[in-house]
Amino acid sequence: MTFTGHAPGTREYRRLIAGLFFAGVATFAQLYAPQAVLPQLSSALGITPATAAVTVSAGTLGIAVAVIPWSLVADRMGRVPAMTVGVVIATAVGLIAPLSGDVAVLLGLRLLEGIALGAVPAVALAYLSEEVDARHVATAAGSYIAGTTVGGLAGRIVSGLVGESLDWRGGVWAAVGMCAASAVLFVWLTPRARGFTPGRGHGGRGPAGERLRTALTSPRLWALYAQGFLLMGAFVAVYNSLGFHLSAPPFALPAWLVTLLFLAYLAGTASSPWAGLLASRSGRLPVLLCSIGVMAIGAALMALPSTVAVLAGLLLFTAGFFGAHTVASGWTPVAAGPDARAQASSLYYFAYYAGSSLFGWGLGLLFGGAGWEALIIAVLTMCALAGVAAALVLRR
């Protein structure tokens, strides 16, 4: 009997969703753990806020350069084995990185950590599209993205609170320890692939170059890549600079309270499965455009000199971003078709993390030189560009 994918309600579907949830935690908790301790890291190493933010950008840059190679590795060795190898190596490097006393060594190890972490975003959505019944892929993708939000939140909260009690190194170690436990749960829970058989040098139909060419020549896919590039760049830039902004007048919030503001990530945990479910029922494009609009409204609110307005804006901004990311990332392997799913998904994440690295650093310089309002204007411009690209190209 031909395998058509696991359906909701089955044991295998539940294990798959739970396994990828913990893969998201293991990946994104350690990727973003330094973000909550950037002010402490900046002070301890005697570096500027923009340079401190590069510790986050180095990890995301590593993912960006690694996702396409990881997609090819996964075609050869299998989806779950590739993700397992990546998570194990990343966790080991993540435990070593805080030992660095020199910022150059720290950045190099963070880059290596990101390269290893690239296995999960490069492969997870292709694996989902192959193992879940086609009618439920968007919903399943939303559950996976929810796991990434929990990981990003947990990494920031754990490292921030522990870092304030100890130092930035203790905070990062605590987060990576949590990632190690999540990695064990991912390996134990995730079922073996049934919708994909590793090939000798190929995973879809045709050689790797042909599959990559397919993923690079579709205007629809380019419009989806643009969503990841622009929206993720805006998202990371805001979160990188938020701690510095709220620690300064007129807010002057204590470090522990700034750390707790990362609980806004729960808005993304809620919006991700909701957006996936709504996209399955009402169509992907309307949900994508509405999510971008919510993100832009949230960014505009954060320009106001009020703690309440900033918090409300942060909730909307985060919910809108993860709603848009859920739709765009889940749409990409479907739009690519069966021949180039892994390559298109990895290119989406290449754009996603390239935007994170570029704008996380570049808008950090803008924030340092021109202030928070200039950063918000840049973020609103990026949201507008993403919305226009989606409306013009994806409507067809």
Give the model confidence (pLDDT) of 382-396 as tens digits: 999 999 999 999 886
Which pLDDT value is given to residue 203? Answer: 47
Integer-rounded Cα radius of gyration of the chain: 20
d(CA 342, CA 215): 9
Continuous H helices in the chain: 11-32, 38-45, 49-77, 79-96, 103-117, 119-131, 137-165, 168-189, 208-216, 219-247, 255-260, 265-282, 284-301, 307-336, 341-370, 372-393
Burial class (CB in 10 A: 0-12, 13-18, 19+), 207: exposed
Query: Per-residue pLDDT for 179 more than 80?
Result: yes
Highest mean pLDDT: which of 124-128, 200-204, 328-332? 328-332
Confidence of residue 284 (pLDDT cuts 50, 70, 90): very high
Which SS3 state, helix, strand or coil, does residue 145 take?
Answer: helix
Whether the pLDDT of residue 53 is over 90: the answer is no
Residue entry with tokens 């997609």 = 71
* Per-residue pLDDT at 56 exceeds 90: no
Q: What is the mean pLDDT of residues 345-364?
A: 86
Return the domain boundaries, the chain.
11-189+207-393
Adjacent-strand bridge partners of 6 = 132
Q: What are the pLDDT digits (tens) for 231-272?
A: 999 998 998 888 889 888 888 888 778 877 778 878 887 888
pLDDT at 175: 92
At residue 143, the pLDDT reads 76
CA distances from 98 to 39, 102, 105, 109, 347 (A): 15, 10, 10, 9, 30
Residue 39: cis peptide before it, omega within 30 degrees of 0: no
77-133 pLDDT, tens digit per residue, is: 888 899 999 999 999 999 998 888 788 999 999 999 999 999 988 888 778 878 888
Compute the distance between CA of residue 226 and CA of residue 114 in angstroms, rounded to an integer.
Answer: 21
**Could you give the angle at the alpha carbon of 192 between the alpha carbons of 83 and 18, nearest 5°?**
70
Give me the phi and psi of 248, to 5 degrees please. -100, 165
d(CA 82, CA 122): 10
Q: Which residues contact 167 (CB under 8 A, 6 or more apart)?
A: 40, 44
Higher-pLDDT residue of 128 and 300 is 300
Q: Are 319 and 268 in contact (CB under 8 A)?
A: yes
Short-list 91, 99, 72, 254, CA closest to 167: 99
Superfamily of domain 11-189+207-393: MFS general substrate transporter like domains (1.20.1250.20)
CB 20 within 8 A of CB 79: no
Q: Tell me the C-alpha distance between 224 and 318, whole Å.
A: 19
* 322 vs 125, higher pLDDT: 322
Q: Number of helices (H) and strands (E) in the chain: give both, helices first.
A: 16, 0
pLDDT at 285: 94
Q: Indicate if the pLDDT at residue 200 is higher than 70.
A: no
pLDDT tens for residues 355-376?
988 898 889 889 988 999 999 9
- pLDDT of 165 higher than 70: yes
